[in-house]
Structure 1
């Protein structure tokens, strides 16, 4: 049976990218019910809801919570949704790398682009309006297939989503290949020094390329449960004098989560002093890490609370979605936030901040949200509170990027006892 209260539902018209001048009756995370006026892609005003008439292009958000739109600070669009074509065995990081490497000779630019586009649009539909993706520099005669694919997808989706690209350079990739990726339009230099024969030397090489090109870096860092592996500390000391125009991000940082307290204190202080942003990636690292600890299995997370307490910008992302590194994932930042509450013991507000405001800060994006003067990148989700939104993750959502409606989703449920609340 359908709800008899259909008139109370907002208009789920097809998202056409058109501007939305006013959001009516939106509930903010602090419980206030407001009207939000938008102009030129920014929030022009936030005032108590006054019951003003809803214009043709406005949205009535009665029953919706209005939040800063999520940002995804660490994705792998070139790998996303490849699980079904690879059918990898379930396992740890080593087996995931082996499965991906075995599959790479079969990758084509068109195939990578098709999967990447689907994955990005799934994230957009769930509320993500900005995304940073690492892209592998592949082994073989054409190492830039993934780069060309993601540069194409970035251009195709430029009107609805901000996409940043990081060249993920294995130690076998020479300097010319990294420079070629930057020449094609990649934004940042990345790699995984902890997986190379000489981590310190590899880190210096990649930082040198970034410095020469005047770009930022985002390094896969210490993705192992080894308390002696502290590439993060080396990175922090190496970039203390970098210009603000070349931001530095360290992703994963799993080893710090199992280090002794005195080591954690020392490293977090160095990271805070250097201004390095840290991205934790709960779903993938909880899946990959700790498989050799069948009893008292450690959590595959960095020292999230210690980093926050030290004043470090801590963001969170999904990392891999439905590929050899993570067979699960729904491209929804709320999934990441829930895992932060459960596994990192953050409050719901802290967890959501990690996938929205802090993620945007790590990505060097301007502040957004239902705040006067902020960019109008907004997520409206049918819920009574932030906690309700995280717990239920309802599909009913409106997504605005720079004040334009770029995604709208609606769900209906019935039971034999009637329509659920």
Structure 2
């Protein structure tokens, strides 16, 4: 029987990214103190976790998921291709889904992310077309409530241009947290953008929009930033692919407007690398937003895995280390910058409390068998312990056996002098 979740009051001998080895004292869901290793007082009743040989990190947060679509690739068998093909494949399948089907896939995907270390997830859910527009939202609200004590979940109503306002409102009435959509895909992008923002203003909720997810399509990010510059509710923009392909002067104007409005930007490297550039077989563009320019300007940057094994992305390991690795390889961020985007940066964009091995922070932590952040991002070790609100909620322990080199095997097999004497 699983001993999880398990409250912990002391972590010992953990290595931090700066190389220091520490003990971490927890008080409920909060980090109480971070002390040099071996100096924390141990109460007899303390639940202690020995983290010798483990790197202790802020637990990652996933700022852009689609739990309603996750793990549907095998059932749909869609053609590989660009965003339009993916949308068409998904809409055909979505018409056949039940609430239970969506809930089952979403639950499995959420637990897979938790096992890898993610303790907070913001997921979009389609406002479905037709008479049962709330099926996806009903499923995700159910799963969010079921797993509330293990992982924090925020839900965004992903409305299309064909979603009536009443259906968006009905989804929000179920307890969905934010208004979302993809205005750049609409016949009238700016009109749809303002419609969605009007709904959010009426409801007093934040906004997380799919924004300009194409290399050469509409530019709505500047309009978004100017409209929300004085809002007090949170606003974020996902993808922003067009920003990465703009001429520098135009890009810089948009980036400055985004900074002034404090719009958080969410890059989604794996899905955008897959979906973008199919029309350019020579010198294929990378299809990422302008991550370097955004960071340098002081914009809050997060990064997500987006789709996992569905028509929009046939792959994905449900692992924030995969996202961080792609930000380094394809986005040319440093390893530290990439990890920040999937952990502290993601939490900031999601409006979550500060977490990590810092006194006063929320005790959402990932311990991974590695000696440095570079090693962790490079090799993504499977040996991990995940803490959510001061409790162990997932553990993965790996046993590995590898054959020794021939010379070493020969030495170990050679009889010793004692053995020779005994056998004569």
TM tier relative to shorter chain: over 0.9
- The yes-or-no answer on 1:350 pairing with 2:337 is yes
Runs of 4 or more consecutive aligned structure 1 residues displaced over 3 Å after TM superposition = 51-56
Q: How many residues align?
A: 403
1:14–1:408 Cα contact (<8 Å) kept: no
Of the three residues 154, 159, 182, the one matched with 1:164 is: 154
Task: Give the aligned partner of residue 99 of structure 2.
Answer: 109
Deviation for aligned residue 1:222: 0.2
Task: Give the aligned partner of residue 410 of structure 2.
Answer: none
| 3-state SS of 1:106 partner | coil
Question: Pairwise mapping of residues 11-160 of structure 1 onto structure 2 (< 5 A)?
Answer: 14-50=2-38, 57-160=47-150
Task: Give the aligned partner of residue 319 of structure 1.
Answer: 306
Task: Give the aligned partner of residue 181 of structure 2.
Answer: 191
2:71–2:105 Cα contact (<8 Å) kept: yes
Query: Whole-Å Cα distance in 2 between the matches of residues 238 and 53 of structure 1?
Result: 53
Task: Give the aligned partner of residue 229 of structure 1.
Answer: 218
Larger Rg: 2
Deviation for aligned residue 1:295: 0.7
Change (3 A) 1:411 1:62: same
Query: Whole-Å Cα distance in 2 between the matches of residues 302 and 196 of structure 1?
Result: 20
Structure 1: 5+ residue stretches without partners: 1-12
Question: Pairwise mapping of residues 376-391 of structure 1 onto structure 2 (< 5 A)?
Answer: 376-391=363-378
Task: Give the aligned partner of residue 256 of structure 2.
Answer: 269
| 3-state SS of 1:208 partner | helix
Task: Give the aligned partner of residue 416 of structure 2.
Answer: none
| 3-state SS of 1:140 partner | coil
Deviation for aligned residue 1:229: 2.5
Query: Whole-Å Cα distance in 2 between the matches of residues 359 and 14 of structure 1?
Result: 30
Change (3 A) 1:58 1:14: farther
Task: Give the aligned partner of residue 10 of structure 1.
Answer: none
Deviation for aligned residue 1:40: 2.3
| 3-state SS of 2:393 partner | strand
| 3-state SS of 2:7 partner | coil
Task: Give the aligned partner of residue 250 of structure 1.
Answer: 237
Deviation for aligned residue 1:284: 0.3
2:62–2:346 Cα contact (<8 Å) kept: yes
| 3-state SS of 2:18 partner | coil
Q: Any idea what the Cα deviations from partners look like across 1:393-417, whole Å, max 9, x if unmatched? A: 1111010011111111111111111
| 3-state SS of 2:180 partner | strand
Query: Whole-Å Cα distance in 1 between the matches of residues 122 and 99 of structure 2?
Result: 19
Query: Whole-Å Cα distance in 2 between the matches of residues 96 and 52 of structure 1?
Result: 53
Query: Whole-Å Cα distance in 2 between the matches of residues 381 and 40 of structure 1?
Result: 22
Query: Whole-Å Cα distance in 2 between the matches of residues 140 and 371 of structure 1?
Result: 49
| 3-state SS of 1:135 partner | strand
Task: Give the aligned partner of residue 205 of structure 2.
Answer: 215
- The yes-or-no answer on 1:289 pairing with 2:276 is yes
| 3-state SS of 2:225 partner | helix
Q: Any idea what the Cα deviations from partners look like across 1:219-257, whole Å, max 9, x if unmatched? A: 00000001x6221111000101111xx100000000000
1:109–1:145 Cα contact (<8 Å) kept: yes
RMSD: 1.3
2:25–2:40 Cα contact (<8 Å) kept: no
Deviation for aligned residue 1:218: 0.3
Deviation for aligned residue 1:378: 0.3
| 3-state SS of 1:362 partner | helix
Query: Whole-Å Cα distance in 2 between the matches of residues 347 and 241 of structure 1?
Result: 32
Task: Give the aligned partner of residue 228 of structure 2.
Answer: 239
1:22–1:38 Cα contact (<8 Å) kept: yes
Of the three residues 176, 181, 190, the one matched with 2:171 is: 181
Deviation for aligned residue 1:57: 2.0
Query: Whole-Å Cα distance in 2 between the matches of residues 269 and 32 of structure 1?
Result: 37
Change (3 A) 1:51 1:14: farther
Q: Any idea what the Cα deviations from partners look like across 1:45-102, whole Å, max 9, x if unmatched? A: 0010017687762110000000000000000000000001111111111110111011
Q: Any idea what the Cα deviations from partners look like across 1:135-178, whole Å, max 9, x if unmatched? A: 00111210110000000000000000000000000111111111
Query: Whole-Å Cα distance in 2 between the matches of residues 156 and 330 of structure 1?
Result: 23
Query: Whole-Å Cα distance in 2 between the matches of residues 169 and 140 of structure 1?
Result: 13
Deviation for aligned residue 1:15: 5.0
